[in-house]
Every structure is written in structure tokens, then in C-alpha cells.
Structure 1
Amino acid sequence: MTEHDGDGAHVSTGTTGESGETGPNGHNGEAAEQAIPELVIISGMSGAGRSTAAKCLEDLGWFVVDNLPPALIPTMVELGARSQGNVARIAVVVDVRGRRFFDNLRESLADLDAKEVTRRIVFLESSDDALVRRFESVRRPHPLQGDGRITDGIAAERDLLRELRGDADLVIDTSSLNVHELRAKMDAQFAGDDEPQLRATVMSFGYKYGLPVDADLVVDCRFLPNPHWVPELRPFTGLNEEVSGYVFNQPGAKEFLDQYTELLQLIAAGYRREGKRYVTIAVGCTGGKHRSVAMSEKLAARLSSEGVETVLVHRDMGRE
């Protein structure tokens, strides 16, 4: 397969202006031109990690479509071209379960080549032994085994995919890879010069309402004096300047914020190495109204200033 350089690839809408005049190529010179998205086709053996590879590209900002019939790939690219730059990179996952799989795929690839779409094929494979172990561990049949054994399905699929494997731009053997190692290989190929960034959700909460079930890290602010017992501060929340000032004037509050931020830098680096892209940091106090809110606001601001994409949520602040 020849990979095309799509730096200058564009498609025109082909509509005419109000005067009906067209340019020398039959198109209106003022017709909007739209950039064709970059395309990656993910395929390979069932159980070899197609979903993990797709999820990795999704975390890197790609628009991912799973189990797309090959005949619809050009349509998906065309729709992306109409998105005004909102969909610049598309990844589609295809497998052999669809009828006329290779006929439709060849037709789609020929269509893409005619439009000079930058495309790559990523093929994931694994040894028979590794695939059998994976299917047995999840207690699911191979999609092509029919009434036979798992090994029969694997052999049939490998034979069907032989030509596609030969056309692939990138072949990854996942026989001895875990999920994190596969993600690292995908990052190395598609992350570019920028290291994939961690996305953080900082959530304040009240312990009396229970721990957030999706928390990766839990911060306990109950070591600080509670503004609830200060009558003039009780009606307010940690968003109030007086409450925040009271919290951070307590011994250890600023030091805790500084040192925990440093600790998060160490944790974030480890998460990225292990392929983890999302983290929820739950910051708690008794009622989730004063201390945890004030600390969450400062912590989220610190993370944002260091380039971490951060979402701030106050789960229990409005509760009585």
C-alpha cells in the first residue's frame, strides 16, 4: 500500500455562487474548501487488542468509530471533512464479520486513494496460544469458530486477514504485551512530539455523604479546623473569600497544598507511563461545603497552571 501525502489534500463542495458562474475546473472559486481528515484503519486478529488500540487513539484526541462497515469508511471521511476542522483525525475499527469484507474494503481504499486521503492501516496480531488463553479467560467464543473450536476460528480469521496484514503500515504483535505496553507502542506511533497529557477531575465531597465511587485518589482535609463552627462563616462555602482565607491561614494548609501538588506531579508521570490518561482526585471534608471546596479550588488552579486539563466538580456543596 502506498501512503499518500495529504498535506494539501482538500475537497470542494462543488456548489456555484448566486451568479451561477464556475471556475475553470467547473467549481465556484468561492466555494468553501474543507480539509480531509487523517485516517487510521485498525484491524487484525480478534482478541489481539483492537479495542485497546482504538481507546489509545481516542485518548490522543482522535475521533474513533468501532466496528464500522468498510463500505462506509469514505462516507465517514467525507463527513469529517464537513466538520469545519472539528474532526481532523479519524480512526475506524474494522473486522471480518461483515459480509463482502475484503471487496468492500478494497473499494473503500481505492476511493480514499483517489481523494488523496492520508491513511494508515494498523494491524494487531498475536500467537494462537495467546489468543486461545484470552478467549478462554473471558469465556467467549471466537466470532468465526461456529460449531468448531476456538483454534478453528483463529485459523479461519488468520487466513482471511493474510492479505490485509501484508498491506498494513504498522503491524504490532501483542502476544507478550500487556495493555499498558500496547498503549505505549501506540503512543510512540501517534502521539507525535507531544507527550500525552493527563486529564484530571478534582471533586470536593463530604464524608458524611460517602466517598465518590470513581475516585482514584482521596484527599482528607479534616485535619484543618472546620469553618462550620465559626458562626459568621457557617452560611458560606469554600468559594467565599473569607472562608478560603480562613482555611489557608490555618497551620499546615498551604504546606499541604504545595507538597500534595508536587506529589501529584510524580503520580502523573507514573500514570502516563502506565497508559492512564484520566484521574479523579476526591477532596473531602465532613460536609463537603467549606474546607474541601476551598482546597479543591486551589488544587485545580495549580494543576491547570501546570498544563493539566482539569475539570472541577463540587459534589456536595449545595447539600444542607
Structure 2
Amino acid sequence: MAENREKLQLLLVTGLLGAGKSTALRQLEDLGWEMIDNFPLRFLQRQIDDLTEEDRTQAPIAIGFDVRTRDFVPRKFLSYLETLEARDDIAVTLLFLDCAGQELERRYNETRRPHPLGHGRPVHEAMAAERELLARLRERADFVFDTTRFSANDLQQTIREHFSPGSPRQMALTVTSFGFARGIPPVADLVFDMRFLDNPHWDEKLRPLTGEDEEIAQHIESDPAFAPAYGKIEDLILTLLPLYERQGRGYLTIAFGCTGGRHRSVYSARKATAALRLAGYSPTLVHRTLRSRGADLVEGNQPALDTRPGTA
């Protein structure tokens, strides 16, 4: 994450209550960040200004805040954020954790905790007020993680991928395969839908295999649609990456999807990872749904999304 090790690395973590801020901060602390939660914002400037030159070379600092934080006024906070960004001794990043209202309401019902903005109102009205209050922060954030479909482990993994101290200066790349039946990865930046390819699921001999097997690779490579389409995808990725780096992007996730996340997306992600490594990048390869027992079932239940000979 750091581009200059002499700068103080400051991560400001906020978002909707129940979206996972506490989980994110605990993971950051495990990664070596100095963590402060619900720190009164009027003391924030004083705390940062009091840091010595030696402090700036120590652990990076993560500060969590939300609508419960004393002195929290979005307009004033954004003004101070601009002041921090103008300084040449601080590298500041704003992380916003979001979540769909229905899922947040479910989480509140499970914990039976009242919403701080409730004041006797139904929880959905309190959440709407909170979302409106934080709208400008979400727009301004450097990273927005939607945790609607995240488990605690998913969020922890995402935090590790994006905010591990000492990350290399080169933009960190993640290439992932996934199944559309389980949703697009929330943090994906580039998404490629490989469902236009012939689906190995409909070949009984190939069905038990995955995109990591040579037989699947041969099947996909023999599809006349694969080479021209994948070639353009690879060219696009290699064209865009230097442009993203020029804009200061520290992290990028490239996702390949198919119906179940078992065959076509896995092979495509593997092939793209190899091409990126050949080009001098060091991507991390992740298969989100490869080992899912339900992958075969969703493949079989959605033939309309596939391209079998003789089907529409």
C-alpha cells in the first residue's frame, strides 16, 4: 500500500453500522497496524501532529469512526481529509464499508441491538438516515467494500489482500474465478463473462473435472470462440494495467466468471495469470467457488446460460 516508506501510513475506516468495521479493524491490528476505534475526531489532528519523525517510520495507523463517534460531522471531516491529503508527510486512505439494507436489518435483528439513530423509529428508517448522512464519505472513499455477501472470513481475506503492510510498490493484482450463480465478487474491478464458451459440464466425461485439468484446457482451447475473444481480453488487460498504475492504483482485481465457477472461468483465470506473470506482474490467483459442492448443481439448473450444440 505504501508508496513512500517515510510517510505516515494512515487508514481511515468508516461505513454503515453492522457492515463489518470491527472485523476489519481487528484484521488490520493482526496485520500490524496500530488500531484506534471511535477516536474523537477533534483529537485526530492533534494526535497526528504530535507524531514524531520516528513515529512515522513505525507501524501504520488505522483509525475507525462512524456515526457514533463523538464530534462526527461529515462536512467537517471531509474538510480535514483534504488538509491531510495536501501534506507531503502523510499517505492517507479512506475505506468505506457498505452493505445492503435488507442484510443490515437481518444483522440487527439477530443481535437485537438498537440503532444509534433510531430514537424510537423502525430500524430501516434509522439505517436510511445513516446512509444519507454518510453518502458523501462513500463517494469520496478510495476503497468501498460491499459486505452484503461477505462472511467474516471473506472480509478478513479482502483486508489482508489490500492492506498488508510492506506490500510491494508494484500494483498488487488478484485474478479470481467465480460462479455467477453465487454473485460477482464485490471487489472486482474488471469482470469477464466466459459463459459464451461451450460448457464442459454437458460432457459426462469432463463434468467431474475442473479448469485445472488438462482435458478441460483442451476442450476450451478447441472452442472456435475462445482464441479470438480471449486474445482481445488479454490485450485489454495488458493495455489497462499501466494506465491504472499511472493513476496511482495500488490494487486491482480481475475476475473471470462462468455459471458454476468450475470449468471455463477457472481455466481463463489460470491462463490470464500466466500471461500476467510473463509480462512481469506478480498476480495472486484465487478460485472462489471451485471447490463448491453446489457448482455442478447450478451448472445443470441453468442451461439457458450455456452454449451447448443444438440449444438456443
TM-score (norm 2): 0.49
Structure of larger gyration radius: 1
Higher relative contact order (CA 8 A, sep 6+): 2
